[in-house]
Structure formats: C-alpha cells, structure tokens
C-alpha cells in the first residue's frame, strides 16, 4: 500500500492513503499506525432527504477477529452482533463528528470504520475517530474542519499523551478528548482505582471445594482527580489536540474531493404565527413550561396548538407546531439568561428535591429507589462469586477476560410517558450504563466477588444516568459493600447567546433539549471519578469548562450530604444478603483447620454453607457465605480451633508405647491419633497374628488403643498393636 501522508504525532505515527480502496464511497481513509490498519468510509444517500430537524447520521465501528489472528469463539465462527466495545466506540465517533455537519443537512449518511489489522499496543478508539474524521474531511461533503482524538494518562504522577495500552494499564487516569483546532467537542473520562495486590500461595487444594480459588484483594483508593489537576490536564491535552488538527488539515487538503452541490433542508418558521403566539398565548406557553414531565408538557403544547387552530382555521398545523416550539425555546433560554431563573422556578445552581429509600425489595440482595425531581431510578444489586463475572475478549487481549463489576441500565418507554415496546439494549442504554460503571468502579473493593447493578429507570426528566450513579452507590452501601469514598453524579447544562451564558446545575429534560451542553460529572466531595461531555454549539472554551466543573463540585457536595444522611438508616436484607468476612489466624494452625485430607474444612463448609480461602503464608482467611449468620458461625468455629492450646510435640522413638484413639478406619488398617495429635498408621497386618478380614470388626472410630512405635518412614509413623 502506498501512503500519501505520514504524520509524526505525540507518541504515535499515522500514515494515510486516500482513494486507493473503496473508491465509490464519498470519502475514504486507509490508516496505518504501528501494525494497526483501519479503513474508514463515508457514504451519503442522495436519493432522499429527511425533512425532520434531525441529522440522519449512522456510525458503525466494526472489528474482525482475523485482525488479531483469531477465529471467533463460540458455536458460530462468524462475527455476529457488535460487542460492547464496538458499540461504545461507535458512539464516541458519532458524538465527535455530528457537530461538524452543516445545519439543514438531511441526507442519510453512513460512516463505517473497519479494523483490518490490530497490534496489542494501539488505541483503537483514538485511531477510529481520526480515520473517520480524515475520510469525512477529504469527502465531497462540505465539511472543512478536521476532528482528532487524544487520550491522556497519568503514570506515576506524570502526564502521558497517547499512551500505549500497556502504559494505560498502569495509569490512574483515562481521559479521552476530541475536538477541532479551536474547540473541544467531547470528553470521556474515568479515574482508575488503586493498585491490585494478589494474595500469594493460596494454599488450599482447589479440588477440596470448587469455590476455593485464588482471589484478588485490593489496597484500594478511588484516585478521584481534583478539579485543579483535571483542568491542568485539559490545558495540556487541548494544546496537543489543536496542534494535531492543524497538521491534519494542512496534510489532507490536497486530497480533498471537489465539494458537490447539496440541497439543504429548507426549514423556515412562519413569523406571523410566531408573533401571534408571542402576543396572544404567552401565558399558555409559560403554563406548558411548568408541566415539567415530558408527557405532560407535550400534552399542554398539543392542547395549545388545537386551541389556536380553532382560532385560526386556515393555518397549517405543522407550521404552527414549529412556531410554538420556537416561542417556547426562546422563553426557556431568555428567562435563564436575562432573569437567571429556570422554567421550574429554580435558581441556576439549585438541585431538585431528593428522596432515597434503600432495600425496598426484600428478596434482592440490595436495592435503592433514588428520586430527584421527576427522575427516578430503581437500582438493584446482586452479588456472586468470581466465576459469575461476564466473560469477554477484546481484539487486543491475549485471551478471555472477566468483568466482575457490571452496571446495566434500562430505559423503558413508560419512564417518559411513551407507549413503546421494550426491545434489546440500545446504544444510549449501553453508554449510560458504562458511564455509571466508570463512576463507581474506582471505589469498590470486589474482594473476589462479582457485583451486578441493574438500574431500572421508572421516571425520567433529566439525567437518569446520574440518578443511576447515586442510586448505585446507595445500593452498594445497602449491601454492606466496602467502598473507599462516597460518589454522586450531577448533570450540568449551559445556555448561551453571544457573550452571555448561564451554567445550570441538575438539568431537567427541557433544559437538555433547549440548551447547548450536556455535561455529566461524577465523583466525591474531593474529586472526579468519571465525566462525559457533549457540546451542541460546536465547541466550548476552557474557561467556561472550568466554571462548570467547580459548579458541579458544589452540586455533588449537596447531593452527597443527603446520601450520607440516608445511609444512616439502612437496614440490611440479612436473610438473603451474602456476606464476606476477612480475618487473620496464626499460620501454624492452618493444618488443624484443614484437617486430615481436608476433612475439617469440608465439615465447616458444609455445616455453615460457606466458602473458605486461606493464605498459608500470612494466615489471611476469607469466608464467604449466603448470609451473615453462616459467615459469623464459620469464623467463630475457626477461631475456636485457633484458640485451643496446642499440645507440645512428643519426640517419639522406636519401641515406645502410647495410648491413642482410632481416628479413621481404612481398608488396610486404621489411623491412630497419638497424645500430641500426631497420626500414625496401624496396618491391618500388625493387629493380630491371624488374618483379619475387616478392620471395622475389631475397632470403631473413637476407640482407645495402646500401640507401639515400630518404625519411621519419612514423616510417617508405623504402629503395632500392644
């Protein structure tokens, strides 16, 4: 392959070929970085134009197993539905490129990104966006701005831009930022929890019990990043991002196709209708705005439209609908900018009323009903063992991985008053669940468990994903899960006209729809664990972003105070809640706890219905059970064994005689427990001069017998009957 452009960027080299393949597409870019090869294509359907005020853009990021020398696992040896990673990557590209399209562009547009070759160190999400942007830039669509993606990591306190995947694994920060050479467009960010420390020499034979497997304990901190530190990262990342886009546009310009003539959607508003609505029906508009639920507001606006149609029978109802929408939007934005008051009467920083109820579901392990204004999330937690995790395999992974902390988000139509069937998981649902997972994962100590959080959105009027974060944290506490910090989430918005702007805390659906920014921030009182930002204006300045971050911190602190108060009244579902306990014992007693061939520990496991892991090296014990009572009983039993004084070991010699007890009968003899607890074998041939058919005809377990030390075979003692 001949490459037209070679660019040396921050920690990465990218090579581009334009027009060598997929020549019938409106725009193509074949990109190589390291051993990774990606093809991005852009195609528009010129046979139809969508009339609605909506950009019909579809982005598909597709990975092929052959790119990493693999054959798809499972029964079907052909790639089927997109993986979560593919879906989330498609969303990142879509959200970054959508703001570039000119207003009125109504042709269905398909951007396809295919990974043909993938090395183990390439950041496929960054390369996917860069390839798609290059294909769009050189296409015959009238778009003359490039978009680039940069990932930032913090490794041992140092900022690293465009890290390799190996470097990213050791980072406490994962920040993905996209933008043009003048504006930020999208942010995805997460902090990463503390280093994992593996317990060494997990010592019980796994054959004794299938649940006894090595586990991971965490010396866990949330690593939430402060606003000040994050702003510093933004500044440095933005500088690199803007420089990169300047290089792109200069290098790609010679390969740009001639722009084709495109018919844009004519979307004119009937100003006569607008003036009539303003002058005659403004009280009705304000009344409809006060109907905060989407369904109620839509009903009020529809009734207003019907009312006006009775007054003006010759008018076109669709034109009137647009006019009413324009007046409503003007009123929402104007009231915020000029009066600093929102449609529901709140101040710009005011948070809606919050109520929290925990463990409302008696048979679930834990649950929380979190309500903020007219947004309500029922978050349910289920605990399992390490083997209950979700298996997955990314293209760049060596093998199959396990996801042991899962957040699943569901958004049924009834939550916004829509009569729509519940179908499969949509991209938006997957993205919101992923955001909540990134928010909470840094603070959770899994301790060898699997945790699944499911958020059922029961009502939505703004930022159900942030309700999922708050409800998810409370569900963790309602399950008595160890966390390193208290985490809440808040959705921020912005309205701007010219030089005037207003930043809004805890936005509702109306402000999201008619505003210019959707900025979700999660974290503790001290720092941020996850973030997601989308800009509708085409970009945002760093100064405005700073202000939004600090205002979000103030809002989070308010929400966290309410959550901490609710945490005091949690009552656990003790009858169904699994429990885990950690404690230490003297390692010299481990043999007593395990017992002969694992008999003692099996008895504990069966009696108390628990799983037990012990570290032979330092005596760490982990007990996990279906309920707290069983775990407490097992711990007391183990501590009873440990607290029993050990007898001093006797130095045995051949010819000495001792009284012992029959501990276990086997076909070839009996194991005799000697005075200090040492076991010896009384072979069947040493019991009588006559042949003995069944040892159980002579002894039973617990019988007292006098035996003589005959010989030592390694660590084993051979006994004879006296």
Long-range contact pairs involving 573-577 (C-beta distance under 8 Å, separation at least 24): 573/359, 573/362, 573/363, 573/364, 573/365, 573/366, 573/478, 574/627, 574/628, 574/629, 575/627, 576/362, 576/363, 576/364, 576/365, 576/626, 576/627, 577/365, 577/366, 577/383, 577/479, 577/480, 577/627, 577/628
Roughly how many angstroms between the first and final C-alpha of the chain, as a whole number? 90
Total Cβ atoms within 10 A of residue 336:
25
- The average pLDDT across 370-391 equals 91
Q: What is the pTM of this model?
A: 0.78
Label residue 295 by pLDDT band (50, 70, 90).
low
pLDDT for position 201: 25
pLDDT at position 15 over 70 = yes
Q: Counting every residue, how long is the chain?
A: 722
pLDDT for position 204: 29
Are 617 and 200 spatial neighbours (Cβ–Cβ below 8 Å)? yes
pLDDT at position 334 over 70 = yes
Are 436 and 444 spatial neighbours (Cβ–Cβ below 8 Å)? no
Distance CA 83, CA 64 (A): 11
CATH no., domain 5-152+232-255: 3.30.230.70
pLDDT at position 132 over 90 = yes
Mean pLDDT highest for which of 16-30, 408-422, 605-619, 701-715?
16-30
pLDDT for position 595: 83
DSSP secondary structure string for all residues of 512-565 = HHHSSEEEEEEE-SS-EEEEEEEESSS-B-HHHHHHHHHHHHHHHHHHHHHHHH
pLDDT at position 206 over 70 = no
**Could you report the per-residue pLDDT of 40-78, keeping only the tens digit for each?**
999 998 877 776 667 899 999 999 999 989 888 777 888
pLDDT at position 482 over 90 = no
- The average pLDDT across 128-133 equals 97
How far, CA to CA in Å, does 24 sit from each of 42, 210, 252? 10, 57, 19
Distance CA 36, CA 46 (A): 33
Task: Strand 57-63: give its sheet, edge to edge.
Answer: 5-9, 12-17, 27-33, 36-44, 109-117, 57-63
**Could you report the per-residue pLDDT of 80-96, keeping only the tens digit for each?**
889 999 999 999 999 99
Label residue 213 by pLDDT band (50, 70, 90).
very low
pLDDT for position 118: 94
Q: Look at the domain 579-643 and name its fold.
A: Ribosomal Protein S8; Chain: A, domain 1 (3.30.1370)
pLDDT for position 291: 64
Label residue 196 by pLDDT band (50, 70, 90).
very low
Residue 92: phi, psi to the nearest 5? -60, -45
Label residue 238 by pLDDT band (50, 70, 90).
confident
pLDDT at position 322 over 50 = yes
Q: Look at the domain 271-339 and name its fold.
A: Arc Repressor Mutant, subunit A (1.10.10)
pLDDT at position 220 over 70 = no
* Percent helix, strand and coil across the chain, each to the nearest 5: 35, 30, 35
- Give the orientation angle of helix 628-643 with respect to helix 599-608, to 10 degrees: 150
Contacts of 507 (CB under 8 A, 6+ apart): 462, 463, 491, 492, 493, 515, 518
Q: Enumerate the domain spans of the chain.
A: 5-152+232-255, 271-339, 579-643, 657-721
**Could you report the per-residue pLDDT of 522-577, keeping only the tens digit for each?**
999 999 999 998 876 656 777 888 899 999 999 999 999 999 999 999 999 877 88
Label residue 261 by pLDDT band (50, 70, 90).
confident
pLDDT at position 203 over 70 = no
The percentage of residues in the chain with a pLDDT greater than 90, rounded to a whole number, is: 46
pLDDT for position 680: 86
Distance CA 263, CA 46 (A): 9
Specify the CATH architecture of the domain 657-721: Beta Barrel (2.40)
Give the residue ranges of DSSP H helices in 568-710.
Answer: 590-594, 599-608, 628-643
Label residue 267 by pLDDT band (50, 70, 90).
low
How far, CA to CA in Å, does 265 sit from each of 26, 103, 537, 539? 20, 8, 19, 23
- Mean pLDDT value across the chain: 86
Structure tokens at 545: 């972003």
- The average pLDDT across 3-15 equals 92
Please report, for the chain, how many H helices and E strands are present, in that order. Answer: 14, 31
Are 223 and 442 spatial neighbours (Cβ–Cβ below 8 Å)? yes
Between 589 and 20, residue with greater pLDDT: 20
């Amino acid at each position: 392959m001949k490459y037209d452009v070679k660019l040396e960027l921050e920690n990465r080299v990218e090579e581009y070929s334009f027009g060598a393949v997929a020549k019938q597409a409106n725009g193509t870019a074949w990109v190589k970085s390291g051993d990774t090869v990606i093809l991005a294509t852009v195609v528009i359907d010129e046979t139809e134009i969508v009339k609605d005020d909506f950009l019909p853009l579809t982005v598909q990021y597709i990975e092929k197993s052959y790119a990493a020398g693999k054959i798809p696992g499972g029964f079907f040896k052909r790639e089927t539905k997109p993986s979560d990673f593919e879906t989330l990557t498609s969303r990142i590209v879509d959200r970054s490129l959508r703001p570039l399209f000119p207003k009125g562009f109504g042709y269905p547009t398909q951007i396809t990104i295919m990974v043909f070759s993938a090395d183990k160190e390439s950041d496929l999400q960054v390369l996917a966006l860069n390839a798609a942007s290059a294909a769009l830039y050189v296409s015959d669509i009238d778009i003359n701005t490039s978009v680039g993606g940069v990932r930032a990591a913090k490794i041992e306190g140092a900022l690293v831009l465009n890290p390799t995947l190996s470097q990213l694994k050791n980072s406490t920060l994962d920040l993905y930022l996209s933008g043009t050479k003048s504006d930020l467009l999208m942010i995805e960010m997460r902090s990463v929890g503390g280093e994992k420390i593996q317990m060494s020499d997990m010592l019980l034979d796994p054959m004794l019990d299938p649940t006894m497997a090595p586990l991971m304990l965490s010396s866990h901190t949330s690593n939430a990043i402060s606003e000040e530190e994050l702003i510093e990262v933004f500044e440095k990342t933005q500088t690199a991002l803007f420089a990169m886009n300047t290089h792109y546009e200069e290098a790609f310009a010679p390969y740009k196709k001639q722009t084709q003539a495109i018919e844009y959607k004519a979307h004119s508003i009937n100003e006569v209708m607008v003036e009539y609505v303003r002058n005659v029906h403004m009280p009705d508009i304000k009344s409809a705005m006060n109907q905060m639920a989407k369904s109620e507001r839509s009903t009020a606006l529809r009734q207003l439209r019907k009312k006006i149609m009775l007054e003006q029978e010759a008018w076109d109802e669709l034109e009137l609908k647009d006019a009413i929408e324009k007046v409503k939007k003007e009123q929402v934005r104007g009231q915020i900018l000029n009066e600093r008051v929102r449609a529901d009467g709140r101040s710009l920083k005011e948070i809606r009323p919050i109520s929290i109820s925990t463990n409302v579901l008696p048979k679930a392990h834990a649950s929380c009903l979190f309500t903020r204004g007219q947004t309500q999330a029922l978050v349910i937690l289920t605990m399992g063992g390490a083997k209950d995790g979700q298996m997955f395999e990314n293209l760049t992974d060596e093998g199959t991985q396990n996801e042991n902390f899962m957040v699943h988000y569901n958004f049924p139509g009834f939550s916004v008053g829509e009569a729509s069937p519940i179908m499969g998981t949509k991209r938006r649902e997957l993205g919101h669940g992923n955001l909540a997972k990134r928010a909470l994962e840094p603070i959770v100590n899994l301790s060898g468990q699997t945790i699944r959080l499911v958020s059922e959105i029961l009502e939505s009027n703004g930022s159900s994903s942030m309700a999922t974060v708050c409800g998810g944290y409370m569900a963790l506490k309602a399950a008595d899960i160890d966390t390193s910090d208290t985490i809440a989430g808040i959705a921020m918005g912005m309205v701007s006209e010219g030089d005037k702007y207003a930043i809004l805390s805890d936005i509702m659906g109306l402000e999201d729809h008619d505003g210019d920014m959707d900025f979700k921030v999660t974290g503790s009182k001290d720092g941020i664990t996850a973030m997601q930002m989308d800009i509708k204006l085409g970009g945002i300045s760093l100064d405005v972003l700073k202000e939004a971050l600090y205002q979000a911190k103030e809002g989070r602190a308010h929400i966290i105070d309410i959550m901490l108060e609710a945490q005091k009244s949690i009552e656990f579902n003790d009858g169904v809640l699994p429990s885990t306990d950690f404690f230490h014992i003297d390692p010299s007693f481990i043999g007593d706890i395990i017992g002969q061939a694992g008999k003692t520990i099996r008895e504990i496991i069966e009696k108390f219905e628990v799983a037990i892991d012990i570290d032979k090296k330092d005596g760490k014990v982990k007990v996990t059970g279906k309920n707290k009572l069983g775990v407490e009983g097992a711990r007391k039993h183990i501590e009873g064994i440990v607290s029993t004084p050990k007898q001093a070991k006797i130095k045995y010699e051949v010819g000495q005689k001792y009284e012992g007890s029959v501990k276990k009968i086997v076909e070839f003899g009996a194991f005799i427990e000697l005075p200090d607890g040492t076991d010896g074998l009384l072979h069947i041939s040493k019991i009588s001069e006559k042949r003995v058919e069944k040892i159980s005809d002579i002894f039973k377990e617990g019988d007292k017998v006098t035996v003589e030390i005959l010989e030592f075979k390694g660590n084993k003692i051979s006994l004879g009957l006296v």
